[in-house]
Amino acid sequence: MSDTDPFWKTKRLAEMTRAEWESLCDGCGRCCLHKLRYEDTASLAYTNVACRLLDLDTCRCSDYANRRRRVPDCVQLTPRVLREIDWLPPSCAYRRLAAGKDLAWWHPLVSGDPETVHEAGISVRGRAVGEKRAGPLDHHIVEWPGSVPRTRRPPRKETAP
């Protein structure tokens, strides 16, 4: 590792500053989708139903500072909590780094552009429904939040000379 390596390559998750930790969120919104845990098998099912605070266009929480007050079961990710949960999508930067993987090319910290997570088809944009419109969660079970789609790099944007 060199002095110029980015923080996510030189620090463990527990060593990161709050700002570094928060910047790892790629803005995909997948963790804000409701999940069902079946009591009899403990298996997990993902849905395409978003938390009421998730902005379905930006894929960001509309009230991040107050989310835990407004949605009491909202999980605040920390390195300790990360070790205890099994429902983060495999594309999640926190999960990837915890597993010893690097950030994907579409992650805004790598690409320099917050739109690449959407362009690569990773985010929930255009794929999720708000919980007020959804009805019963078991009518919205989907597999895609629990998998990493094949992504294709978007064409490079031409810059004017």
pLDDT tens-digit map of 101-121: 999 999 999 999 999 999 999
CB 36 within 8 A of CB 143: no
The CB density around residue 12, as the number of other CB atoms within 10 Å, is: 10
Query: By residue range, what is the domain housing residue 71?
Result: 13-145
Do 131 and 50 form a contact (C-beta atoms < 8 A)? yes
Euclidean distance between CA atoms 43 and 35, whole angstroms: 10
- Digit-coded pLDDT (tens) for 15-64: 999 999 999 999 999 999 999 999 999 899 999 999 999 999 999 999 99
The pLDDT value given to residue 149: 75
SS3 of 42, please?
coil
Whether 5 is in a domain gets the answer no
How many domains does the chain contain in total? 1
Is 36 within a domain?
yes
In a domain, 151, yes or no: no
**Burial class for 55, CB neighbours closer than 10 Å (0-12, 13-18, 19+):** middle
Which residues in the chain belong to E strands, given as ranges? 33-37, 44-50, 54-55, 60-61, 129-130, 141-142
Place of tokens 């110029």: 4
What pLDDT score does 153 carry?
Answer: 65
Quick check: is 138 in a domain? yes
Q: Is residue 154 part of a domain?
A: no
